[in-house]
Amino acid sequence: MHGQEIDIQYLAGVGPKRARLFRSELGVESASDLLRYYPFRYVDRSSVTPIASIVPDVAYVQFRGRVMRRQLWSADKGEVVQKEGQAVKYNVVKRMTVLVTDGTGEMELVFFKGIKWAYEKLRPGEDFLFFGKPQVFNGKLNMVHPEMDPLGTNNFEGLGSLTGIYSSTEKLKNAGVTDKVMRKIMQAALNETLPSVEETLPEYVLREKGLCNLRFALYNIHFPKDAASLEKARYRLKFEELFLLQLSLLKAKFIRSRADNGIPMPKVEVAFNQCYENIPFELTGGQKRVIKEIREDMRSGKQMNRLLQGDVGSGKTMVAVLSALIAAGNGYQSCIMAPTEVLAQQHFRNIQKYLAPTGLKSALLTGTSKTAERREIHAGLEDGSLTLIVGTHALLEDNVVFKNLGLAIIDEQHRFGVDQRSKLWRKTSDGRPPHVLVMTATPIPRTLAMTFYGDLDTSVINEMPPGRKPVVTMTAGEGKRYAMYNFIRDQIALGRQAFIVYPLIFESEKMDYKNLELGYEEVIRQFPFPPYKTAIVHGKQTAEEKNFNMAAFVEGRANILVATSVIEVGVDVPNASVMVIESSERFGLSQLHQLRGRVGRGSEKSYCILMTGNKLSKEGRHRIKLMCSTEDGFVLAEEDLKMRGPGDMEGTQQSGLPIELSIASLAKDGQILSDARRYASVILDKDPGLDAPENQRLKIELSKSKYQKKDYSKIS
């Protein structure tokens, strides 16, 4: 058997029972999987701290101690007294405490598990090296379940330097897989497999990028010889991970850019000009630049795959319409797919206005479209009389057939599954993929865009339409609540509307912040009917309920909309001038920014009021301060990534990342990512197919199953 492919159960210290847990809890099946399961941090075990110098709640500490006394405790918390020479009745023992001293002070060790083993090992008078997290209980310094190594008089065997700490789970810990056991298993995996580990990067890459070899990196990431060796190992493994990721994304992009299988759209016909000349406002420089980029893509004969990023209200819909008119001028249909019915309806209303001067036909298809309406729409799509269709998931149904789909525009694409989106591309008549424009109002940090959308070309609209007023953002605590309600009354008296957003639907015992149900009752008390009308929207409602309540607010029949963050994306109510966000410290920056973007869409001055609890964490205070200091979504998105990491950011969970990152961090390793992408691009410029002899290792790596997911480039 190849060393790296040893089943995890055959490693010393594992066995069938633990192997099942390694598979279910960590996704680790083989020795090679285990080698790539890296420590998430390291503790320095090069020094021994006197007990008198230990303070509680430091991360970890190591000390030397002599066992003075052992005590066993029963379930009723009374001490279990054993007569000399009698066997210990471990079945009634629930806890053991051990008092140790090093001459400078005393420490109590506490054990709830493995008591028999610890009791027999920790004999009075014996010296040990202990390692763990100190804390205070009942005024005494103690340590629960420390690691321990026996010491002779001058024997410091086992005293390491940098020691890796691995992420674990309750089930693994309960099965006895402690940090110490994990390190023993890892050592066994390295002993068995390291000699047969094959290098993944070509020799010239190691040389040009100054990287250590893979065997050195794998050993020193788990058992660092010293800090310098750990840094070398860490850099090598991070670069490898990001480089191979970027190589896989760019290779797909390079292949596509060289393939002449796109639909050429060389003409700009009269409809485009009629629409352009009748736009009631001047396009921003950003919009003009993006339209030019899209125009070049569509005339090239290659398939366009472009990501359009633009902050809330930056004018992406106008760009989408003009792109669809380029397709129409060349005899092709377009579709715009939105994640919600409300957003689809909103797009359709705007698009109808823009298309009016052209005479071209458009339609709206959603889950609530009537049968007769659907029949007419289906016929129009099949005979080509419908130029542009706006819709939700309903566009993906098998009976929706286009005559000649040439452009697919996806709004907020992370809300659609890959398989769903791929159905659209199968609707083209001649097998050639449609041009693809992905739009998002969620500002994406540069490193995330390079990774999640690494195979797409990117356009950014980074300026707002002229005349759009900035939203005044302020923060208020509980003491200002009634002043906030009075402010909303004043705005309603001026004919405006207000959003009030809550983070939760139902009360959670663990969370002390306001929930939607109690909040709604409070708003109704403050704004009784008549004269006020309050609508409510949340994720537990049916689509019909949601649409009814949302429509009441959008059409001005309700003064206030109480909601969860379901209204975060896309809702356009120009008359709404106030956004109140309850428990705002509980939201991430990107989400707060999206919510704020729901107001300030009309000509009136608008306000965002961030309500906060009395106890704000340092991070929460920092987020609120940032929100009040800038309206730049990209600045806030970068900060959000640094503070929360990519996994928590809206939408990133489903974005089609080719591999799961094991060691690199998109929040912290932006420089390595940029370097890896540039370097991958240089290699592919010379050898797009990685066919050169020196690139065979790279070709082999990219052929592995983790890179062989669906071709995301055609379904983004």
Question: Rounded to whole angstroms, how far apart are CA atoms 662 and 332?
Answer: 44
Which pLDDT score, from 0 to 100, does residue 715 have?
A: 36
Query: For residue 651, is pLDDT > 80?
Result: no
Question: Rounded to whole angstroms, how far apart are CA atoms 540 and 536?
Answer: 11
Which residues, other chains included, contact 660 with Cβ-Cβ below 8 Å and sequence gap of 6+?
none
Is 84 a member of any domain?
yes
Question: 35 and 137: one domain?
Answer: no
Task: Tell which residue, 195, 167, 169, has the closest CA to residue 39.
Answer: 167
Question: 63 and 146: one domain?
Answer: yes
Question: 39 and 127: one domain?
Answer: no
Question: 134 and 94: one domain?
Answer: yes
Question: 505 and 615: one domain?
Answer: yes
Which pLDDT score, from 0 to 100, does residue 211 have?
A: 97
User: Is the Cβ–Cβ distance between 564 and 502 less than 8 Å?
Assistant: yes
Query: For residue 154, is pLDDT > 60?
Result: no
Report the predicted TM-score, pTM, of the whole model to 2 decimal places.
Answer: 0.66
| Backbone CA torsion sign across 651, 656, 658, 659 | positive
Which pLDDT score, from 0 to 100, does residue 582 have?
A: 92
* Helix, strand, coil percent content, the chain, rounded in steps of 5: 45, 20, 40
3-class SS of residue 212: coil
Which pLDDT score, from 0 to 100, does residue 659 have?
A: 59
Is 552 a member of any domain?
yes
Is 319 a member of any domain?
yes
61-74 vs 93-101, strand pairing mode: antiparallel
Which pLDDT score, from 0 to 100, does residue 713 have?
A: 39
Query: What is the average pLDDT across 690-698?
Result: 94
Which pLDDT score, from 0 to 100, does residue 604 have?
A: 83
Question: 481 and 610: one domain?
Answer: yes
535: confidence class by pLDDT, cuts 50, 70, 90: very high
296: confidence class by pLDDT, cuts 50, 70, 90: very high
3-class SS of residue 238: helix
Minimum mean pLDDT among 192-206, 477-491, 636-650: which range?
636-650
391: confidence class by pLDDT, cuts 50, 70, 90: very high
608: confidence class by pLDDT, cuts 50, 70, 90: very high
pLDDT higher at 87 or 378? 378
Query: In this structure, what token pair is assigned to residue 201?
Result: 């990067």
Query: For residue 603, is pLDDT > 90?
Result: no
State the DSSP string of 612-631.
Answer: --S---HHHHHHHHHHHH--
Question: 180 and 151: one domain?
Answer: no
Half-sphere exposure (Cβ direction) of 72: Cα atoms closer than 13 Å: 22
Question: Rounded to whole angstroms, how far apart are CA atoms 568 and 342?
Answer: 12
Query: For residue 325, is pLDDT > 90?
Result: yes
| Edge-first strand listing for the sheet containing 457-461 | 362-365, 388-391, 333-337, 405-411, 435-440, 305-310, 457-461
Is 698 a member of any domain?
no
Query: For residue 716, is pLDDT > 60?
Result: no
Which pLDDT score, from 0 to 100, does residue 208 have?
A: 96
**pLDDT tens column, 159-169:** 457 888 888 88
Query: For residue 99, is pLDDT > 80?
Result: yes
| Domain around 328 | 270-300+315-440
Is 590 a member of any domain?
yes
pLDDT higher at 711 or 559? 559
Which pLDDT score, from 0 to 100, does residue 655 have?
A: 39
Which residues, other chains included, contact 336 with Cβ-Cβ below 8 Å and sequence gap of 6+?
320, 324, 344, 347, 351, 388, 389, 390, 391, 409, 411
Query: What is the average pLDDT across 375-380?
Result: 94
Question: 52 and 180: one domain?
Answer: no
Question: 86 and 178: one domain?
Answer: no
Question: 116 and 135: one domain?
Answer: yes
Query: For residue 185, is pLDDT > 80?
Result: yes
Is 544 a member of any domain?
yes
User: Is the Cβ–Cβ distance between 342 and 548 less than 8 Å?
Assistant: no
Which residues, other chains included, contact 239 with Cβ-Cβ below 8 Å and sequence gap of 6+?
209, 211, 672, 675, 676
Is 240 a member of any domain?
no
pLDDT higher at 571 or 239? 239
Query: In this structure, what token pair is assigned to residue 337?
Result: 């797919």
Cross-strand partners of 362 = 388
Query: For residue 209, is pLDDT > 90?
Result: yes
Residue owning tokens 């109704």: 524
DSSP element (H, E) containing 95? strand 93-101
Which pLDDT score, from 0 to 100, does residue 710 have?
A: 44
pLDDT higher at 652 or 78? 78
656: confidence class by pLDDT, cuts 50, 70, 90: very low
580: confidence class by pLDDT, cuts 50, 70, 90: very high
Question: Rounded to whole angstroms, how far apart are CA atoms 182 and 203?
Answer: 33
User: Is the Cβ–Cβ distance between 63 and 45 less than 8 Å?
Assistant: no
User: Is the Cβ–Cβ distance between 501 and 564 less than 8 Å?
Assistant: yes
650: confidence class by pLDDT, cuts 50, 70, 90: very low
Which pLDDT score, from 0 to 100, does residue 156 have?
A: 43
State the DSSP string of 377-446.
Answer: HHHHHHHT---EEEESGGGGSTT---S-EEEEEEESGGGS-HHHHHHHHTT-SSSPPPEEEEEESS---H
**pLDDT tens column, 43-98:** 877 788 899 998 886 778 889 999 999 888 876 656 666 655 567 777 778 888 99
Other beta carbons within 10 angstroms of residue 434's beta carbon come to 26
Other beta carbons within 10 angstroms of residue 417's beta carbon come to 13
Question: 27 and 153: one domain?
Answer: no
**pLDDT tens column, 586-597:** 888 878 888 898
Other beta carbons within 10 angstroms of residue 94's beta carbon come to 14
3-class SS of residue 307: strand
Q: What is the mean pLDDT of the chain?
A: 84
CATH number at residue 118: 2.40.50.140
127-132 vs 147-151, strand pairing mode: antiparallel
Query: For residue 436, is pLDDT > 50?
Result: yes
CATH number at residue 421: 3.40.50.300
Which pLDDT score, from 0 to 100, does residue 191 have?
A: 93
Query: For residue 197, is pLDDT > 80?
Result: yes
Is 217 a member of any domain?
no
- DSSP conformation class of 283: P
193: confidence class by pLDDT, cuts 50, 70, 90: very high
Which pLDDT score, from 0 to 100, does residue 645 have?
A: 57
Identity of the amino acid at 462:
N
The highest-confidence range among 63-77, 199-213, 543-557, 650-664, by mean pLDDT, is 199-213
Question: 480 and 616: one domain?
Answer: yes
Question: Rounded to whole angstroms, how far apart are CA atoms 184 and 162?
Answer: 15
Helix ranges (H only) for 22-143 are: 31-35, 115-121
Q: How many domains does the chain have?
A: 4
528: confidence class by pLDDT, cuts 50, 70, 90: very high
Question: Rounded to whole angstroms, how far apart are CA atoms 317 and 435?
Answer: 17
What letters, b where the CB count within 10 A reaches 16 and e where it falls short, cover 15-41? Answer: eeebbebbbebbebebbbbbbebbbee
Query: What is the average pLDDT across 487-509?
Result: 84
Which pLDDT score, from 0 to 100, does residue 516 have?
A: 78
Percent of the chain with pLDDT over 70: 87
**pLDDT tens column, 259-289:** 667 889 999 989 999 999 998 888 989 999 9
